[in-house]
Structure 1
């Protein structure tokens, strides 16, 4: 399994214009399979390394791309641009055009699921299949931890060491089981280990806007949809998935036990098995 540094070294990057600003988007790319391209998108406070287990397997049959959202990972993190779901959707649209993808399958977790829910509503002809994993939707978010992190003084009052400690505790307390993979924990923390990283994380948190999920109607999703949900999630409980299942016309909910919010890490084998079956 790749370390975060190996994952980062393997990433490509492209420059996209989002709301008139040129922003760099880093992405991990693998596979040349005949199936529809599959795009994976993470949430907050993670990065594309969240998908380390899934991409190598899915890439056996599909062309796979896993970007870092703007403001995250190795994408642009300087201060002074919009990091909302609306802006992330624009960036994804630009990345898909840059890569020459006409139709895609989308796999989104947390905020990434919210971005892809918007995209599937707005670009129904582009999205063949949609997978939402413990995704934000409706007014299910932001959680209190992110709301508190998004206070402007958080960027001024917290050092990189303090943010590293906060994130370390967050992941260790919410990953399933008592022995989290150190490579994963370190990979989730690494992009924020600088003053610029702290500011970017705070700006990402303050950009969480319920309006950007309540303004779209999941009933407009036309793609075949799989809800792959960790049943022990304290951040996005399964009740939100059950509501999505009722609203999205062609939708199936699969609940995974012994999985908290970080489902691709908590239950990697089960996650990949269900994903491969659905995508094929």
Structure 2
């Protein structure tokens, strides 16, 4: 696996660490695989998978505002649209014009909305337990976080053992202890504020946004890969096949024993799907480009 490094990028005054890597000479490449985490999480969630893609592609895995080691300003626009706009500014700043998205959890709507804003920069999409979710209703934790006072109390009184248990229930195969403890340690007051703001601003995750985004993305006929842990308690596995309504060429793989973080609870299986898919998208493009004079 390739070695990744971290750089700090400031986007509109918001500092956000970015894990990056790639083959020699890829630092200025306008094409990149961009890994977007969800909640809870950070760019470091993707370290192992991104390191397996880095030998043949530029890879970027940012900490999004409010999460991980990114800045957590109280006045950031903690909405799906706000994160999509931040992602757009980040990619422009890094000179990325051809994007292969790899998305998880809330990274799904952030990345999908970005794709509707800049569709001709979107080259392929990989969805891990996320996507367009028509008719979706909030999971229990989401409903609690959305409830004033209850959400504040729940997040304020969360303990490490309780967090470990919740992660275990969401991932029957289990997640690496280091990853779970890092998530807990990163969930400081700023992240808890971001979670409440984000969930309360996302009123109807199964509503019209899905129809609008689908109508904008379907004509692009994008290469797509859908990887889903069947035992996800937050987003039902039936949504894996539903992604084909928008991404008609999608390859869909359901991992029967995995939970909400399949790339962490079954990393070999997920890498065995994602790495060849991305290689198919990137290497033919390189071979079609004229050789340097």
TM-score normalized with structure 2 length: 0.82
Residue number among 104, 110, 113 corresponding to 2:99 in the alignment: 104
Instruction: Please give the alpha-carbon distance, in whole angstroms, between the structure 2 residues aligned to 1:142 and 1:26.
Output: 30
Distance 1:248 1:196, change over 3 A: closer
TM-score normalized with structure 1 length: 0.85
List structure 1 runs of 4+ shifted beyond 6 angstroms.
none
Does 1:30 pair with 2:21? Answer: yes
Q: Residues 46-195 of structure 1: matches in 2 within 5 Å?
A: 46-137=41-132, 138-154=134-150, 156-157=152-153, 160=156, 162=158, 164-177=160-173, 180-192=175-187, 194-195=188-189
Q: Residues 127-276 of structure 1: matches in 2 within 5 Å?
A: 127-137=122-132, 138-154=134-150, 156-157=152-153, 160=156, 162=158, 164-177=160-173, 180-192=175-187, 194-209=188-203, 210=205, 212-217=209-214, 218-276=217-275
| Residue aligned with 1:11, SS | strand
**Count of matched residue pairs:** 267
| Residue aligned with 1:162, SS | coil
8 Å CA contact 2:33–2:101 kept in 1: the answer is: yes
RMSD (CA atoms): 2.5
Instruction: Please give the alpha-carbon distance, in whole angstroms, between the structure 2 residues aligned to 1:139 and 1:41.
Output: 23
Which sections of structure 1, spanning at least 5 residues, go unmatched? 2-6
Aligned to 2:283: none
Aligned to 1:277: 276
Instruction: Please give the alpha-carbon distance, in whole angstroms, between the structure 1 residues aligned to 2:109 and 2:17.
Output: 20
Distance 1:77 1:174, change over 3 A: same
Does 1:45 pair with 2:40? Answer: yes
8 Å CA contact 2:18–2:61 kept in 1: the answer is: yes
Deviation (angstroms), 1:250 = 2.3
Distance 1:122 1:271, change over 3 A: same
Deviation (angstroms), 1:26 = 2.1
Q: Which structure has the larger Rg?
A: 2
Deviation (angstroms), 1:148 = 0.8
